[in-house]
Amino acid sequence: MRDPLTAPLSADDLALVRYAKVLTERPSAITDADVEELRRHGFDDSAIHDAAQVIALFAYYNRVAEGLGVKWTDKTPP
């Protein structure tokens, strides 16, 4: 899947994917409206907090790996 925004997901999951995409690619662009969109899809403050933490941690780990010169391939074990 190259574009998660076209994945066959529920509307709730797509809202989370859109939030994750913005938080990952342009974190300073997150607005109150982005958070409110998650709330409209049933996410409470605890779920939004957890999502932001997981998204940020993945970004952090990827940057550490890239900063250390880790080269990813299709054969890299999960």
pTM of the model: 0.81
Do residues 14 and 21 lie in contact, with contact meaning Cβ atoms separated by under 8 Å? no
Pick the closest to residue 16 from 64, 66, 50 (CA basis): 50
Cα distances from 39 to residues 42, 48, 60, 77, in angstroms, run 5, 8, 25, 36
pLDDT digits (tens, 9 = 90+) for 20-48: 999 999 999 999 999 999 999 999 999 99
Confidence check: pLDDT of 76 > 80: no
- Please tell me the class of the 9-67 domain: mainly alpha
